[in-house]
Structure 1
Amino acid sequence: MNVKLLSGALGAEISGIDLTDTSDQNFKKINDLLLEHKVIFFRDQPITNEQQIALAAKFGPLETHAYVKGLKDHPEIVRIIKGKEEKNQWGENWHSDVSYNSKPTKAVILKSVKIPPVGGDTCFSNMELAWETLDPKIQSKIINKKAVHSSLGAEFFIDNYKYMEGNEKRNYDSYSNEHPIVRTHPETGKKILYVNWTYTKQIIGLEKEESDQVLKEIFEHQARLDLTCRFSWTEDTVAIWDNRSVIHYAIADFFPGRGLGYERIMDRIAIEGDHPQ
């Protein structure tokens, strides 16, 4: 096994591990790497849908997305498609997946199906490190508080994406949940700064103006480059990230007018998490 670090903050590219081996021994290696590096990547892994599902199931119960339809034969898999003519890309702002759920996603396994020759990298930011490096004045203000996370409604997830299809809950309005701003990782015991630019809307117990200001400062801090890594995809790459410990940003640097109109296809499986504590 070889481990190549992607940055000083988080992320590693792993070789020498067979992702089709779902034995307890092999899963422990993968999970230990995930807890250490927060997001891990495996290139040249032409796994099938069934093999991706089998790997994900080792982490826990699988989710189906509240708003987006999965594959016909594999509803657990959301196929993320950006067409050649499209400029938008699903997930193109800083976020933690479905943090608006009462039990937000534990981990995500994303497999690249079709990758453009340029564009479409993904950035990740380490929220354990973000908490450790946050201004102590802000730390003291938020340590025992909760924040509201809102899903923004079904349209947010598919209206800007021509090839993304809503599921039977297409007409559901947005819904919200409150989570601790600083949560504790259930496996490592580490403190995590658990808010994100896309879904976190207000700090409970603060007036709206003060809440907006504090969240603005936190969001800017979370996006600091020294807390991040950036990954350039190739086809048949599998990424696994700890959705509790990171936020991520799919870069939509596709400009058809500049000759950069490329199709990009990814298969996503999410594992159900717990109630943040």
Structure 2
Amino acid sequence: MTALPQASAGSDIQAARVLHIPEERLDSAQAKILSIADYRGEREALDAVVVEPYSPVVGAHVRGLDFAASAPERDAALAQFLHDRLVRYGFLFFAPGTVQAEDFGRLVSLFGKARYAGTPYTPAPAENTNVNTIDSSVKKTRMNLIWHIDQAFVPEPPRFTALFGKAAPPTGGDTLFANATAAYDLLDPDFARYLETLTAVHDVETQGFLTLAYQDPGALAAQRAKYPPIEAPVIRVHPDTGRKQIFVSELYTQRILGVPRTVSDHLLQILFDYVKSPDVQTRVAWQEGAAVIWDNRVVQHRGVADYGDGLRVLHRAIVQ
């Protein structure tokens, strides 16, 4: 048997040594944590309308809004105030009683024009043809349970999305929200710079969205022709804040271009995990009459199907 070579003092073979990390290296030797000071907000008010942080990194409560007592001539100032806080915080939460069902359209109009974006399983309610209904007793598809940005498969996804709680189950049925800018801020800087050189394919059919939603072959073919795959940056800059964000999602991102498939799969899984990190998330528990509007360009979301036979009915508005 041939003896293995022994390392000598002048050998290139490096001997193992006991790991020691001095205190001055502790920060760089561990995964990043967020600088909460970059996200923490303060209480702000416009007359009786008060905005306060909902969680450390995403979302804000809006209190004191009363559409019944609001004068239309004040809507412009109110719209600007709420728009600026929406972009600042990522989403605005309106507690039950703040906005009535008949006020949902007016609330949405403060942020832009609503556009219908439903499927056969999420039709428009009779009272408002510009929104669609997500009714757990009717809806058979489960795409809303996968992390996504609404319509990330088009070149310019909707700016905002709004939901109104028409009916809420006794327990469960929350919606999770994640701040993709905060997720980017958790990345190692060298890794982030590499990701900024990459682009990805976004496809509406990545998880079979159209295949499951359209049972009629003709309608399915028409929808597929309407939404061809697109190319988008893996890391993009928010058009209003100027801050970088992770711009891939489990529901619609198919693959990263320019790398082998295995590399693409691993990179995407890493990025999905950053978006799913509890460090960048919060959740909204639905109640009848509650409303939420979020910046769909940067805040990802998904529903939670933990409400059994309970009824969950939401009205959704896509806002351009």
Question: SS in structure 2 opposite 1:91?
Answer: helix
Q: Counterpart of 2:136?
A: 82
Cα distance, 1:47 vs structure 2: 2.9
Cα distance 1:180–1:271, how it changes in 2: closer, same or farther (>3 A)?
Answer: same
8 Å CA contact retained: 1:67, 1:169: no
After superposition, the C-alpha distances for 1:60-104 in whole angstroms (9 at most, x for unaligned) are 3433326454235633211001029x8975511111111001221
Question: SS in structure 1 opposite 2:162?
Answer: strand
8 Å CA contact retained: 2:200, 2:257: yes
8 Å CA contact retained: 1:2, 1:14: yes
Q: Counterpart of 1:109?
A: 162
Q: Counterpart of 2:63?
A: 15
Q: Counterpart of 1:155?
A: 211
Cα distance, 1:133 vs structure 2: 1.2
**Aligned pairs (5 A) from 1:242-257:** 242-255=295-308
Cα distance, 1:48 vs structure 2: 3.8
Alpha-carbon distance in structure 1 between the residues aligned to 2:301 and 2:67: 23
Q: Which has the higher helix share?
A: 2
Cα distance, 1:13 vs structure 2: 1.8
Alpha-carbon distance in structure 1 between the residues aligned to 2:264 and 2:152: 18
Query: Which is higher, the Rg of structure 1 or of structure 2?
Result: 2
Cα distance, 1:155 vs structure 2: 3.0
Alpha-carbon distance in structure 2 between the residues aligned to 1:90 and 1:193: 20
Alpha-carbon distance in structure 2 between the residues aligned to 1:212 and 1:99: 19
Cα distance, 1:230 vs structure 2: 1.1
Alpha-carbon distance in structure 2 between the residues aligned to 1:230 and 1:19: 26
Q: Counterpart of 2:87?
A: 35
Alignment RMSD = 2.5
Identity of aligned residues (%): 26
Q: Counterpart of 2:281?
A: 228
Letter in 2 for 1:29: F
**Aligned pairs (5 A) from 1:61-140:** 61-65=113-117, 67-68=119-120, 69-72=123-126, 74-83=128-137, 91-140=144-193
Q: Relative CO higher for 1 or 2, CA cutoff 8 Å, sep ≥ 6?
A: 1
Q: Counterpart of 2:41?
A: none
Between 126-135 and 20-29, the greater mean CA deviation after superposition: 20-29
8 Å CA contact retained: 2:169, 2:312: yes
Q: Confirm or deny that 1:183 pairs with 2:231.
A: no
Cα distance 1:76–1:144, how it changes in 2: closer, same or farther (>3 A)?
Answer: farther
8 Å CA contact retained: 1:87, 1:254: no
Between 60-69 and 194-203, the greater mean CA deviation after superposition: 60-69
After superposition, the C-alpha distances for 1:188-222 in whole angstroms (9 at most, x for unaligned) are 21112111111111112222111111001111111
Q: Counterpart of 2:316?
A: 268
Q: Confirm or deny that 1:203 pairs with 2:256.
A: yes
Q: What's the TM-score, normalizing by structure 2? A: 0.73
Alpha-carbon distance in structure 2 between the residues aligned to 1:41 and 1:55: 12
Cα distance 1:195–1:125, how it changes in 2: closer, same or farther (>3 A)?
Answer: same
Between 100-109 and 173-182, the greater mean CA deviation after superposition: 173-182
Alpha-carbon distance in structure 2 between the residues aligned to 1:7 and 1:87: 32
Letter in 2 for 1:60: G
Alpha-carbon distance in structure 2 between the residues aligned to 1:151 and 1:170: 12
Question: SS in structure 1 opposite 2:145?
Answer: coil
Q: Extract unaligned runs of 5+ from structure 1.
A: 160-165, 256-260, 273-277
